[in-house]
Chains A and B, each alone.
Chain A
């Protein structure tokens, strides 16, 4: 039998399309971390798919050389779920932002965690809608006054994606910073390898509409404790941290991924009709 040596480099996963993000944007770093992780996983590009919704960060499929689907706002997770169930042989990553994932796609997010299909969801959280020029998102602090739509802030407590992900059943939870693409790649490798639904929150500053986030790189610190497989302990940690503990996996669950068994079908219309007959 012929031995195939697969020696992939990060560049092999990048397309010829040049990103149009603002210089300094954390999303460049995420693109670099994803491609580094895929190279380290030695996954042939045709065995990987990246699915996204709408937003600056959702442009990632265009910038990669793997299968891609740039879908409808907030609907990346249902598309990715269908793809993974139909093609379990593919490694499916989902990328997007906080608005796409936690507001427009908020319900899909919770149910994707609950279903626990073997997906890796990378959310670039910049606490703002950047593509539409800077409105408050579900993770924006209540007193942020940077948008004329919310001149005195939203006054609403921000969505806590990792806590909600954990409560909804996500099987792997981590937080990373775009200031460390190598650590991010390492975490993405673990997320892809861990069975079930993996949630990776990336603190990814919006340098244009939230320039004050440039100090995040100074605030972030490596989490002091390693991951736990105890959801209650993970929840306590998440509820008491300030959001800047990064760089390590917080939770690894052992729930089996959702893999429905399908009966083989002849594909005939009559057979399909008989299955759905009331």
Chain B
């Protein structure tokens, strides 16, 4: 629904990039945490473990980022003013795309899609930026996102037949019977 499709090309300074990265990583970390909580509450422990692992990874990422931002005055962006084309941050999984029957494989694929989107955002920033320090930092962030994608690709390779099955519901809602 966002009307501007900028993909980060308007990010031209280090404070702008850091403000975007901070929001992107914060949102992603919180969303992975929310999804892990949702799945734990519904006793989908295997899927919850994937999201929890990613929440921890994002928090580590965030800690490093916070250190980088320590002495930088960051510009304020309202949530709707960030220069990415997605509604929420590119790494933030849309809540509407999960369900209580999500399989492990589907969860990994969903996370992989969003980790790649985050990488692409930083790649686009690096491609459009003019300042060398912005380009270098955006490339560094893109590489860090690729590490998460690498881990998820390994998870995907390890997925067995059971991991691809939708979780069964022994007591489905009447309207789904």
Query: Are A182 and B87 in contact, CB atoms less than 8 angstroms apart?
Result: yes
Kindly state whether residue B37 has any CB partner on chain A within 8 Å. Answer: yes
Query: Are B99 and A24 in contact, CB atoms less than 8 angstroms apart?
Result: yes
Query: In the complex where A20-B41, A148-B174, A210-B175 touch, is A183 in contact with B1 (Cβ < 8 A)?
Result: yes
With a cutoff of 8 Å between Cβ atoms, the chain B residues found around residue A120 in the complex are none
Interfacial residues of chain A within 197-243, with CB under 8 A of chain B in the complex: 205, 207-211, 214, 217, 220, 222
Query: In the complex where A180-B87, A186-B80, A222-B1 touch, is A208 in contact with B95 (Cβ < 8 A)?
Result: no
Interfacial residues of chain A within 1-54, with CB under 8 A of chain B in the complex: 9, 11, 18-26, 28-29, 32, 36, 40
15 contacts between A and B (CB under 8 A): A23-B39, A24-B97, A24-B98, A28-B34, A133-B174, A134-B174, A148-B174, A178-B96, A181-B88, A182-B2, A183-B80, A207-B99, A208-B173, A209-B173, A214-B96
Q: Encode contact with A along B16-28: 1 for CB under 8 Å, 0 otherwise.
A: 0000000000100
The CB with the most chain A CB atoms within 10 A, among B30, B35, B95, is that of B95
With a cutoff of 8 Å between Cβ atoms, the chain B residues found around residue A181 in the complex are 87-88
Kindly state whether residue B38 has any CB partner on chain A within 8 Å. Answer: yes
Bound Cα distance A144, B1 (Å): 28
Which residue of chain B has the shortest Cβ distance to A246 in the bound complex? B1
Query: In the complex where A177-B1, A181-B87, A222-B1 touch, is A26 in contact with B175 (Cβ < 8 A)?
Result: no
Bound Cα distance A180, B3 (Å): 12
Query: Are A23 and B94 in contact, CB atoms less than 8 angstroms apart?
Result: no
Kindly state whether residue A168 has any CB partner on chain B within 8 Å. Answer: no
Query: Are B41 and A26 in contact, CB atoms less than 8 angstroms apart?
Result: no
Kindly state whether residue B64 has any CB partner on chain A within 8 Å. Answer: no
How many residues belonging to B are interface residues under a CB distance threshold of 8 Å? 29
Kindly state whether residue A179 has any CB partner on chain B within 8 Å. Answer: yes
Bound Cα distance A84, B30 (Å): 32
Query: Are A29 and B96 in contact, CB atoms less than 8 angstroms apart?
Result: yes
With a cutoff of 8 Å between Cβ atoms, the chain A residues found around residue B3 in the complex are 222
Kindly state whether residue A147 has any CB partner on chain B within 8 Å. Answer: yes
Bound Cα distance A18, B35 (Å): 11
With a cutoff of 8 Å between Cβ atoms, the chain A residues found around residue B94 in the complex are 179
Task: Report A177 CB to chain B, min CB distance, Å.
Answer: 7
Tell me which of A11, A21, A25 contacts B30 (CB under 8 A).
Answer: A11
Query: Are B78 and A40 in contact, CB atoms less than 8 angstroms apart?
Result: yes
With a cutoff of 8 Å between Cβ atoms, the chain B residues found around residue A220 in the complex are 1
Task: Report B96 CB to chain A, min CB distance, Å.
Answer: 6
Query: Are A209 and B80 in contact, CB atoms less than 8 angstroms apart?
Result: no
Query: In the complex where A147-B174, A177-B1, A186-B79 touch, is A29 in contact with B37 (Cβ < 8 A)?
Result: no
Q: Encode contact with A along B87-108: 1 for CB under 8 Å, 0 otherwise.
A: 1100000111111101000000
Task: Report B74 CB to chain A, min CB distance, Å.
Answer: 11
The 4 closest A-B pairs by CB, nearest first: A146-B175, A23-B38, A180-B1, A24-B99
Which residue of chain B has the shortest Cβ distance to A36 in the bound complex? B79
Kindly state whether residue B5 has any CB partner on chain A within 8 Å. Answer: no
With a cutoff of 8 Å between Cβ atoms, the chain B residues found around residue A211 in the complex are 175-176
Kindly state whether residue A185 has any CB partner on chain B within 8 Å. Answer: yes
Bound Cα distance A181, B42 (Å): 23
Task: Report B86 CB to chain A, min CB distance, Å.
Answer: 9
Query: Are B79 and A19 in contact, CB atoms less than 8 angstroms apart?
Result: no
With a cutoff of 8 Å between Cβ atoms, the chain B residues found around residue A208 in the complex are 100, 173, 176
5 more A-B residue pairs beyond the given contacts A11-B30, A21-B38, A181-B88, with a C-beta to C-beta distance below 8 A? A23-B95, A28-B34, A32-B95, A147-B174, A182-B80
With a cutoff of 8 Å between Cβ atoms, the chain A residues found around residue B98 in the complex are 23-24
Task: Report B1 CB to chain A, min CB distance, Å.
Answer: 4
With a cutoff of 8 Å between Cβ atoms, the chain B residues found around residue A177 in the complex are 1
Kindly state whether residue A247 has any CB partner on chain B within 8 Å. Answer: yes
With a cutoff of 8 Å between Cβ atoms, the chain B residues found around residue A20 in the complex are 41
Task: Report B77 CB to chain A, min CB distance, Å.
Answer: 10
With a cutoff of 8 Å between Cβ atoms, the chain A residues found around residue B41 in the complex are 18-20
Query: Are A134 and B175 in contact, CB atoms less than 8 angstroms apart?
Result: yes
Query: In the complex where A23-B38, A133-B174, A181-B88 touch, is A29 in contact with B95 (Cβ < 8 A)?
Result: yes
Bound Cα distance A164, B165 (Å): 46
